[in-house]
Amino acid sequence: MMNELGYCNGIENYTRYMTGKKKGEPPYTLLDFFGDDWLLVVDESHVTLPQIRGMYEGDHNRKQT
């Protein structure tokens, strides 16, 4: 489906096969692509911060189950 359509619903369930991660390891998030020394300037923080918080909490919840 990925080759035909370019997307797949529920792809988050298959990312470990595409990234080489082991079962139970969390998928990559946007924050994983930043280096060790970076600065985030947030405009429209009422929208952006809940999204970043959601990524963190979603990752945390996956680790707990």
Owning domain of residue 15: 2-64
Average pLDDT, integer, range 11-36? 79
pLDDT tens digit string along 27-55? 788 888 888 898 877 777 677 778 888 87
The pLDDT score that the predictor gives to residue 8 is 66
DSSP per-residue string spanning 1-65: -HHHHS--TTGGGTHHHHHTPPTTPPPP-GGGGS-SS-----SSHHHHHHHHHHHHHHHHHHHH-
The pLDDT score that the predictor gives to residue 45 is 66
Total number of domains in the chain: 1
